[in-house]
Amino acid sequence: MASGYGFVAVLVVDLHFPEAGSLKAKRKDLQSLKATLQVRFGAAVSEVAFQELWQRARLVVCLAGGSAAALSDRVEGVERFIDARSPAGAAIERMLASVEDLHDVVSTLGRGG
C-alpha cells in the first residue's frame, strides 16, 4: 500500500477493570494508560464511551505515519502494551488506511455517494 499522503491507524479499545471499586479508581488507571500511550507511542487518545461505568472503558487511539509497514509495527507495539497493562484483557479493533483512501471516501460522501 503506497501513498504520498501518509497513513493513519485507529484502534478502538474496550477495557475491563474488574478491581475498580469506583470511578475515581478507574480514571486513575485510565489516565496513566492514556498518558503513556501519548508519550511513548505519540498517540492521540480519547475516552469515548462508558465514562460513568466503574469497570468499563472504551478508548480510541490514533497514530499516523509515513509508511504502512512502520505504522503497523507501532500499532502492534501499542496493542502489546495495552494487553500487558490489562490483566482482565482488552478487545482491540484495528483500522489502518492511507490518507489518500480516506480523502476518496470523504469526497464520495460529500457528493452524496
CATH of the domain at 18: 3.30.70.1120
63 grid coordinates: 497514530
Predicted confidence at residue 52, as pLDDT, reads 83
User: Half-sphere exposure of residue 19, counting CA atoms within 13 Å on the CB side?
Assistant: 6
12 in any annotated domain: yes
Task: Determine the pLDDT at residue 99.
Answer: 87
What does the radius of gyration of the chain's CA atoms come to, in whole angstroms?
16
For residue 3, pLDDT over 70 is answered with no
Tens of pLDDT, residue by residue over 65-110, are: 999 999 999 999 999 999 998 878 899 999 999 988 887 776 666 6
Whether residue 2 lies inside any domain: the answer is no
Q: Residue 67: its pLDDT value, please?
A: 92
Q: Is residue 1 part of a domain?
A: no
Number of domains, the chain: 1
The answer to the question of residue 101 being in a domain is yes
In-domain check, residue 71: yes
Residue 88 domain-assigned (yes or no):
yes
CA–CA gap between residue 41 and residue 104 (Å, rounded): 28
- Say if 63 falls within a structural domain: yes
Q: Give the confidence band of 112 by pLDDT, cuts at 50, 70, 90.
A: low
Over the stretch 11-59, which tens digit does the pLDDT of each residue have? 999 999 888 778 888 888 899 999 999 999 999 999 999 888 888 899 9
pTM of structure: 0.84
